[in-house]
């Protein structure tokens, strides 16, 4: 058993300005994606330039933030919005949806691809190994905020978490599980897979399969949002439901990639 230390979500307060850990984690995620993208763009044969990466990250940041927030409000945030009509813009208090962020960044990268004359799926493939470190950072932010806990458990690594009524529950730290799987393991898998040219669609397909698989597994020990609960059978959650199309799409994309074996536009054609 590990006692949860109840972190202060505010990392630094300068008068009325409060710097929160959750916001810092988003900055870590975007900076890590930018650095990794710059590193990949600098590889011999890459068709990406440093300026391409800078513009790509600019579009991605807006897509993630707008999509993640609007997605959370649409999928999970009805009760919070009813309590506080201004909650829609208070992203420093948490409340971001991966699935909404995925939709948002896909739209933003489509706009980037159109402006740069690139094939959209090549942009998605280039992006595939970049966000996982940000996922890990975001889940650490959830842990610091004391949100998104897992189910009660008796495992040796359970966290003792004080409840509002003064009682203590032993809970799965599902935020840390997600940080490990959706962050560390997924990053290692995607960085290795994209370390050499792969067929067009393959990196995007593997990313969807990897994230959806890890998310659905962790949902088995994660407590659903109180205002939504289980959707069916006492086990089906909104996170599972939203991840299933990702899994199916990823399988289809990976199969298509290796059936067609089209070369990626992210690498210059061999002379």
DSSP one-letter string for 217-242: HHHTTBPPPTTT--SBTTTB-HHHHH
User: Tens of pLDDT along 4-22?
Assistant: 998 998 888 888 888 889 8
- Mean per-residue pLDDT, 146-175: 93
- Statement: residue 217 has pLDDT above 90: yes
Which stretch of 73-87, 172-186, 211-225 has the lowest confidence by average pLDDT? 73-87
- Strands in 108-225 per DSSP E: 159-162, 168-171
Q: Which residues contact 73 (CB under 8 A, 6 or more apart)?
A: 81, 88, 95
Q: Tens digits of per-residue pLDDT, 229-257? A: 888 878 888 889 989 999 999 999 999 99
- Please, which pLDDT band fits residue 86 given cuts at 50, 70 and 90? low
Report pLDDT for 195: 95
Q: What is the C-alpha separation between 269 and 264, in angstroms, rounded?
A: 9
| pLDDT at residue 271 greater than cutoff 60 | no
Binned at pLDDT 50, 70 and 90, residue 27 comes out as: very high
Task: Report the percentage of the chain scoring pLDDT > 70.
Answer: 92
pLDDT of residue 263: 95
For residue 202, give the nearest of 259, 142, 267 by alpha carbon: 259
Please tell me the least confidently modeled range out of 61-75, 79-93, 189-203, 209-223.
79-93
Burial of 235: CB neighbours in 10 Å, binned 0-12, 13-18, 19+: exposed
- 100-144 pLDDT tens trace: 888 899 999 999 999 999 999 999 999 999 999 999 999 999 999
In this structure, are residues 190 and 207 in contact, taking their beta carbons and an 8 Å threshold?
yes
State residue 1's pLDDT score. 85
Nearest of 189, 183, 172, 188 to residue 4 by alpha carbon:
172
pLDDT for res 69: 84
**186 vs 131: CA distance, rounded Å:** 9
pLDDT reading at 177 higher than 70: yes
> Residue 107 burial by CB count (10 A; 0-12/13-18/19+): exposed, middle or buried?
middle
Q: In what order do the strands lie in the sheet with 168-171?
A: 2-3, 159-162, 168-171
- DSSP for residue 12: E
Question: Is 74's pLDDT higher than 80?
Answer: no
96 vs 22: which has the higher pLDDT: 22
Could you tell me the two tokens for 98? Answer: 């991966």
* C-alpha distances out from residue 152 to 158, 161, 214, 216, 223, Å: 8, 10, 20, 18, 9
Mean pLDDT, the chain, integer: 90
| C-alpha dist (Å) from residue 147 to 44, 82, 171, 188, 217 | 43, 19, 12, 26, 19
């Amino acid at each position: 058993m590990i006692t949860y230390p109840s972190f202060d979500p505010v990392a630094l307060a300068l008068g009325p300005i409060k710097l929160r850990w959750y916001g810092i984690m988003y900055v870590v995620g975007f900076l890590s994606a930018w650095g990794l993208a710059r590193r990949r763009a600098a590889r011999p044969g890459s068709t990406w330039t440093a300026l391409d990466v800078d513009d790509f990250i600019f579009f991605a940041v807006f897509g993630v933030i707008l999509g993640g927030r609007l997605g959370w409000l649409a999928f999970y945030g009805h009760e919070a919005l009813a309590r506080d009509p201004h909650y829609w813009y208070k992203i420093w208090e948490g409340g971001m949806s991966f699935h909404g962020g995925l939709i948002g960044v896909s739209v933003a990268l489509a706009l980037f691809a159109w402006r740069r004359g690139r094939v959209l799926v090549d942009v998605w493939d280039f992006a595939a190994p970049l966000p996982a470190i940000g996922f890990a950072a975001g889940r650490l932010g959830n842990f610091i905020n004391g949100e998104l806990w897992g189910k009660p458990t008796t495992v040796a690594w359970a966290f003792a978490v004080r409840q509002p009524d003064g009682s203590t529950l032993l809970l799965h730290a599902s935020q840390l599980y997600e940080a490990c799987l959706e962050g560390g393991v997924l990053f290692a898998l995607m960085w290795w897979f994209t370390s050499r040219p792969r067929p067009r669609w393959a990196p995007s397909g593997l990313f969807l399969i990897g994230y959806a698989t890890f998310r659905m597994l962790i949902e088995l020990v994660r407590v659903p949002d109180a205002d939504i609960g289980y959707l069916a059978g006492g086990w089906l959650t909104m996170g599972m439901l939203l991840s299933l199309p990702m899994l199916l799409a990823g399988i289809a994309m990976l199969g298509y990639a290796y059936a067609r074996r089209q070369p990626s536009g992210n690498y210059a054609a061999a002379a």
